[in-house]
Amino acid sequence: MEILSLSLNHRVTSLGVREAVVFTPEDGKHFLNQLRERVLASESLLISTCNRTEIYIVRAAGANPELGPPLLDLLKETRGFAATEHPRNYEITRDEEAVRHLFRVAGGLDSQILGESQILGQVKNALAWARSAGTDGRVLHRLWERALRVGKRVRSETALGEGALSASYASLELARKIFGSLKEKHVLVVGTGEIGVLALENLQGYPVASLTIMNRTASRAQALAERFKGKVRDLAELPKALIDADLVISSTSSPVPLIRYEQMRKVRQQRGGQRPLLIVDLAVPRDFEERCGSLDGVFLKNLDDLSEIVKKNIEERFQELPRAEAIIEAEMTTFFRWLRALDVEPTILKLRELFHAVRENELAALRNALDEESFGRLDRLSRRLINRLLHQLSKNLRRHTALQDSELVSVVHELLTEEIPHPNEVEGGGETNDCSSEDAAPAPPARSPGT
């Protein structure tokens, strides 16, 4: 059995080629069916996103031993991707490397943005596509289960997916570090340019107590307030609005600061208590005078501060790589142990057939000698006996296979399938069988007359 993967990903494949090989769900289903028919893949799966197209195949017994060329031919035929023209634009991996690659993809280790989580959903979808195309099978199903487990473990057991990687998200991360939840917080967005809209979009995922939008052009603020379910206030009321706000994201194009230190000091007095105020000033030139940040309880952060957060988060993600790799290796061991155990299944089946055939033969010989009740008892007893013996044997065989003891399995298989000639037969000796070893034993030497 062979697992093969063909990957066209952002690391090796140009955007132009990636665009050409993107599959819609319908295309994907059709392609998977063709894989089964033309490449003789017993199982196949397809992941298709903007950053990667990946095909995973399990080679059927007796199928074409070289899967790569027919697969590339099919890809050329259906998507126009000529491997010969782009020899470095794809990767083909087999068995361990293919599985490792899939696990890295699911864990977000192979993503353009290290640790991003969207890919896990896309890996999950791939299984649904294969199911609907009827090309998923026992091996790929188990492989996908493990891949999804890798994805979940990497996200829950490491910090690979943690920390914002954009200034906009970093500002929300900072807000959460100060306030915990934003549920009861009043958010004020000042300025409705590109950055302001991005901030509003990012805020969508976080329920807040109230959202206020301020802009020089009221109509634009009104339109955004309707879109993001906020309210509008006049920009001139900014000092007043600051009294109630907890989080302020400001990004106007004003050439002079909107709020100076003295104004902020008064705001601070009017706010009372120790309620912290986070001001994220994304404007250049800045909307808040730098000294405002020196006031107690006022956290004033600018673009440079947020870049610092992003930088630290990227460093942290890279530091988490060894832990994620360790998870992948552990899951690979589990998967391959299971896969190796599959090899022993035909032997176990053969063993079962043989044992039951012997049982039935022996029972048949007694059929007429016993009454119905006694025969029934003997039937049940022999069945239980055989099953118990087989259970232990099967368990041990599977265990040995999992431990890569293939020699034992092949010996058992030979014992079951091959007619091993008796030494006497080889030497041309008399007829014998396995049950007559005592008869076949050499006769004791004859006593000499004198003893």
Closest approach of Cβ 214 to other proteins, in Å?
25
Residue 106 contacts residue 332 (beta carbons within 8 Å): no
Long-range residue pairs from 64-67, CB within 8 A, at least 24 positions apart, any chain = 64/39, 64/40, 67/2, 67/4, 67/39, 67/41
Find the binder of other proteins among 63, 159, 321, 354 (CB under 8 A).
159
Question: Is residue 431 a contact point for other proteins (CB under 8 A)?
Answer: no
The rounded distance, in Å, linking the Cα atoms of 212 and 169 is: 19
Taking alpha carbons only, the member of 149, 134, 114, 112 closest to residue 45 is 134
337-360 as b/e, with b when 16 or more CB fall inside 10 Å?
A: ebbbbebbeebbeebeeebeeeee
**4, amino acid identity:** L
Question: Is residue 290 a contact point for other proteins (CB under 8 A)?
Answer: no
Pattern 34-73, other proteins, x by CB under 8 A = ----------------------------------------
112 or 307: whose CB is closer to other proteins?
307
Pattern 87-106, other proteins, x by CB under 8 A = --------------------
Residues 171-190 touching other proteins, rule: CB under 8 A, are 174, 176-180
Q: Which one of the spans 271-279, 333-341, 349-357, 370-378 is the region binding other proteins (CB under 8 A)?
A: 271-279
User: Would strands 52-59 and 41-48 be described as parallel, antiparallel, or unpaired?
Assistant: antiparallel
91 or 316: whose CB is closer to other proteins?
316
The rounded distance, in Å, linking the Cα atoms of 122 and 119 is: 5
Closest approach of Cβ 280 to other proteins, in Å?
12
Taking alpha carbons only, the member of 254, 257, 217 closest to residue 239 is 257
221 or 277: whose CB is closer to other proteins?
277
308 or 414: whose CB is closer to other proteins?
308
72 or 154: whose CB is closer to other proteins?
154
Closest approach of Cβ 139 to other proteins, in Å?
28
161 or 230: whose CB is closer to other proteins?
161
The rounded distance, in Å, linking the Cα atoms of 127 and 140 is: 9
Q: Which one of the spans 112-120, 290-298, 370-378, 385-393 is the region binding other proteins (CB under 8 A)?
A: 290-298
Pattern 291-330, other proteins, x by CB under 8 A = --x--xx-x-x---x--xx--x---x------x-------
Coil, helix or strand at residue 391: helix
Residues in binding contact with other proteins, number by CB under 8 A: 26
Find the binder of other proteins among 273, 322, 430, 449 (CB under 8 A).
273
**50 catalytic residue (yes or no):** yes
Find the binder of other proteins among 48, 51, 135, 158 (CB under 8 A).
158
Question: Is residue 157 a contact point for other proteins (CB under 8 A)?
Answer: yes
Find the binder of other proteins among 138, 231, 275, 367 (CB under 8 A).
275
55 or 248: whose CB is closer to other proteins?
248
Q: How far out from the chain centre does Cα 44 lie?
A: 16
Place of tokens 């470095």: 88
Find the binder of other proteins among 163, 191, 230, 257 (CB under 8 A).
163
- Cis bond leading into 285, ω under 30°? yes
6 or 170: whose CB is closer to other proteins?
170
Place of tokens 């006497």: 424
Closest approach of Cβ 103 to other proteins, in Å?
17
Residue 123 contacts residue 47 (beta carbons within 8 Å): yes
> In sequence order, which residues have a C-beta less than 8 Å from that of residue 45 and are 6 or more positions away?
32, 55, 56, 126, 127, 129, 130, 135, 136, 140, 144
Q: What would the DSSP string read from start to end of 76-108?
A: HHHH---TTT-TTS-EEEEHHHHHHHHHHHHTT
The rounded distance, in Å, linking the Cα atoms of 268 and 276 is: 10
- Among the options 50, 330, 349, 403, which is catalytic? 50
Residues 357-376 touching other proteins, rule: CB under 8 A, are none
Q: Which residues bind other proteins (CB under 8 A)?
A: 156-159, 163, 174, 176-180, 273-276, 293, 296-297, 299, 301, 305, 308-309, 312, 316, 323
Active site residues: 50
